[in-house]
Amino acid sequence: MKMRKRLLGTLIVLFFVGSAFASAFAYEALVGPTGVLKYNKAKAYNGYTLLSPMTKCKTTYLIDMEGNVVHKWHTKYTPGLYAILLENGNLLRGGRPKGAPCSIGGASGVVQEIDWDGNVVWEYKMMTPTEVQHHTFWRMPNGNTLLLGWEFKSIDEAIAKGRDPKSIPTSVFGRGKWHYGFWVDFVREVNKAGKTVWEWHVWDHIGTGPNQFDINYHLPKPVGALYPDFDWTHFNTVAYIPERDQVLLNSRNFSEFYLVDHKTGEMVYRWGNPSAYGHGKRPSWYDNGDQKVFGAHCATWLGNDRVLLFDNGSERPEGNRSAAVEVDIKTGKIVWEYEAKHSNSFYSYRQGAVQRLPNGNTLITSTHGGHLIEVTKDKEVVWDYVSPIHNGKPKCWLEDGDGHNMMANMIHRAYRYGPDYPGLRGKDLSKKVPLAPGCPAFFKLWKTSEAYK
């Protein structure tokens, strides 16, 4: 029996990684396993990973290092777009009610705080004909919540602000809906009672200066129906930095992150794409120019003047590839970066996330493949996971014909929490249930094979 198990493990490994032996650069397959693919217990950060499968799934899962579910929350909405575990043990989770006024990717509409037993204990809705919450949110130390939103601005309002009329279509059809004006980013801070106590609007900072947003900077038309026009700046991050009293923002379309003074509302720092404000060399054919990242997401403050972010690397002239990037804001230099040797192994065209773990490792969410990767500072992969939740149901294998390019198991952001995290204190995590019952534990088979040695 032992010999048979060993042989089975070797055969499975050879089947799935055989192409890697033939090429020094890539592992490519049309069929692949789900669950935990690799787990180096000695080097990985031990903890529990929180994930909210995006497609046709209203459940948020907390899994252990071997992929077993130790807790789950059944919710009213599909995620908009993810959840975090607060220090009080509650979830803070975005949701997607029906009826959003625009169909831009990331439009959500509600943020809920949900206790350990699944009860909604706080909720804030932002969904009217002229505004909608999107992408992200942040719980501040004082208990207030930052929310990222889009507000509607008409074509006439955009022209009055200086947008070239020749660059504006009369309407754009995108994601099943017609759009007739601009959806512009803003940030709202609300207290526990849901009262607005602070706001910041891109619309108030339009201009051509180094601390302004150029309304005539936009992506080229081939990028998509909405991005060059009505989905103008497309922010995807909001976070608060208490020690600096600053708000951290990130623009997918401008390929920049920003630091905004919470008191004055002024932009005090920007990084990623100097050509967005008339500085530096713009990208061109097979030349990145002075642009550092392309379509980035999830800018994350690390302290010590460092920011970590997910660089999607999409529409990158020198070749599409994703990376986790750490930036020193004092020097403007990239001081650490992880990318796969071949983009087939790690690439998310849109979305994606990063988290610096307490042991110095980095947890990366490659959204479009439902792919979670933990890497060390030395860029060694020590935990590798593919979500088995595909269109809301568990699957042992994903195939090229599944969904849209195997993207029906997407995860926008995942977060890892150690056993000593305050939000897990006193919680019973002893009951372990496979997320995909009956599926092989690939990382165990891998360990028994000669290839692993």
Residue 344: pLDDT band (50, 70, 90) is: confident
Q: Is residue 253 scored above 60 in pLDDT?
A: yes
What pLDDT, on the 0 to 100 scale, is given for residue 403? 59
Residue 26 has pLDDT above 70, yes or no: no
Integer Cα distance of 356 and 352 in angstroms: 14
Query: Is it the case that residue 308 has pLDDT exceeding 80?
Result: yes
In angstroms, the CA 114 to CA 71 distance is 13
Mean pLDDT of 270-274: 97
High-pLDDT (> 70) share of the chain, %: 92
Q: What is the mean pLDDT of the segment spanning 394-420?
A: 86
Number of H helices, E strands in the chain: 3, 33
Higher pLDDT, 15 or 84: 84
User: Which contacts (CB < 8 Å, 24+ apart) does range 152-160 have?
Assistant: 152/101, 152/102, 152/181, 152/182, 152/183, 152/184, 153/181, 153/182, 153/183, 153/184, 153/203, 154/180, 154/181, 154/182, 155/180, 155/181, 155/182, 157/181, 157/182, 158/182, 158/215
Nearest partner of 367 among 384, 347, 381, 383, judged by Cα: 347
User: Is the pLDDT higher at 442 or at 378?
Assistant: 378
Residue with tokens 């006024």: 101
Map residue 384 onto helix, strand or coil. Answer: strand
What pLDDT band is residue 222 in, cutting at 50, 70 and 90?
confident
pLDDT the model gives residue 355: 98
362 pLDDT tier (thresholds 50, 70, 90)? very high
What is the band of 85 on the pLDDT scale with cuts at 50, 70, 90? Answer: very high
Domains and CATH numbers, the chain: 32-448 (2.120.10.30)
Report the pLDDT averaged over residues 216-225: 85
Is 18 a residue whose pLDDT tops 60?
no
Summarised one tens digit per residue, pLDDT across range 92-149 is: 999 999 999 999 999 999 999 999 999 999 999 999 999 999 999 999 999 999 999 9
The residue type of 118 is G
* pLDDT value for 152: 98
- Average pLDDT value for residue range 245-274: 98
C-alpha torsion angle, residues 293, 294, 300, 301 (rounded to 10): 30
Q: Is 360 helix (H, G, I), strand (E, B) or coil?
A: coil
- Look at residue 435 in the predicted model and tell me its pLDDT: 95
What's the confidence (pLDDT) of residue 122? 98
Question: Greater confidence, 204 or 23?
Answer: 204
pLDDT of residue 174: 86
Are 197 and 190 in contact by the 8 Å Cβ rule? The answer is: yes
The model's confidence at residue 285, banded by pLDDT at 50, 70 and 90, is: confident
Give me the residues paired with residue 249 across strands.
Answer: 238, 258
Residue 157 has pLDDT above 70, yes or no: yes
Give the residue-averaged pLDDT of 344-369. 95
Measured from the Cβ of residue 98, the count of other Cβ atoms closer than 10 Å reads: 7
116 in Cβ contact with 89 (< 8 Å)? yes
Averaged pLDDT, 245-267: 98
- 209-213, 262-266, 313-317: which has the minimum mean pLDDT? 313-317
> ∠369-374-380 over CA atoms, to 5°?
115
Q: Per-residue pLDDT for 37 more than 90?
A: yes
**pLDDT tens-digit map of 200-220:** 999 999 999 999 999 999 988
Contacts of 23 (CB under 8 A, 6+ apart): none
